[in-house]
Amino acid sequence: MDINILFPVLNEHLRLEKGIDKCVAYMRKNVHIPYKLTIVDNGSDDDTPEIGRRLADKYDEVEYVRIEERGVGIAFKTGVLRCEADIVGYMDIDLSTDLEYLSKTIEIFEKKKNVQYVNGSRFSKDSKTHGRKWYRKITSAGLVFILKAMFGMKATDALCGFTFLRTSVAQKLVKQCSDDKGWFYTVELLLRAERGGINIVDMPIEWVEDYDTTVNVPKTIKNYIIRIYKLKKMFRKERRYATLSK
């Protein structure tokens, strides 16, 4: 078994090198399976491309991929569709999720052959979060509440920034998902996995708030509302089509 870890980045010149250096050091010391770290640069216009290429030259296990469209969703989809490893997933370059959960994720996939999806969660009763700003807690918890109410979501978190799947499953799911290019793409991926009966492990994690985040909270909330409405409408249409096709 091997794993491909995707790092979607946009103008991350302050965190990219530190994040990759730390991840490579951890993987070399603690991970016993073949692995690749893929920097997926989705439209950076700072010096992120230069740093990414330098890191790819520095480490054999690191590659740099450039796409011109912005958005975590399109970056994740691009990484999944080009992946040749058995396991694929993404985590944030700020390493908010402790790196030890990479080892735990690999162990889950190795020991539980029926598990197809590992979803990191900040809201599980066994999770530990540090330095979380009150308004970020409210928006994140609010999103989970809405997703549970509107879609019956079973997972305890939808946007932790730590998601891994068996590649064959991930590639099928991304082909089913909409053309959303932003963060909500990963929410849709999770909801479609649940609707499809995919075996998902909701994994408690230790998570640290990044105070230099580039996320625009008001803009993100507005996008979530729009995307939730569109996805609900899409699911309703798909159900009607499935019923008529029987």
Instruction: Give the CATH number of the domain where residue 67 resides.
Output: 3.90.550.10
Q: What mean pLDDT value characterizes the chain?
A: 92
Confidence label for 214 from pLDDT (cuts 50, 70 and 90) = low
pLDDT of residue 79: 98
pLDDT digits (tens, 9 = 90+) for 136-171: 677 778 889 999 999 999 999 998 899 999 999 999
Asked if residue 217 has pLDDT above 80, the reply is no
Q: How many domains does the chain have?
A: 1
For range 51-79, the mean pLDDT: 97
Chain centroid offset of residue 16 CA:
17
Domain that holds residue 100: 3-245
pLDDT of residue 223: 77
Return the sign of the alpha-carbon dihedral for residues 51, 15, 189, 1: positive
pLDDT of residue 44: 97
Top-ranked range on mean pLDDT: pick from 15-29, 119-133, 211-225: 15-29
| Residues in Cβ contact with 184 at an 8 Å cutoff, skipping those fewer than 6 apart | 73, 223, 224, 227, 228, 231
Q: How far apart are CA 115 and CA 202, in angstroms?
A: 11
For range 209-223, the mean pLDDT: 66
Confidence label for 135 from pLDDT (cuts 50, 70 and 90) = low
pLDDT digits (tens, 9 = 90+) for 45-54: 999 999 999 9
pLDDT of residue 209: 74
Confidence label for 208 from pLDDT (cuts 50, 70 and 90) = confident
Q: How far apart are CA 62 and CA 38, in angstroms?
A: 6
Confidence label for 239 from pLDDT (cuts 50, 70 and 90) = confident
pLDDT digits (tens, 9 = 90+) for 176-185: 999 889 889 9
* DSSP strands (E only) in the chain: 3-9, 35-42, 62-67, 87-91, 117-121, 128-130, 162-166, 200-204, 206-208
The region of weakest confidence among 6-20, 29-43, 217-231 is 217-231
pLDDT of residue 215: 57
The region of weakest confidence among 38-47, 73-82, 111-120, 211-220 is 211-220
pLDDT of residue 244: 65
Q: Are strands 206-208 and 62-67 parallel, antiparallel or unpaired?
A: unpaired
* Residue labelled with tokens 């979530």: 224
Asked if residue 246 has pLDDT above 70, the reply is no
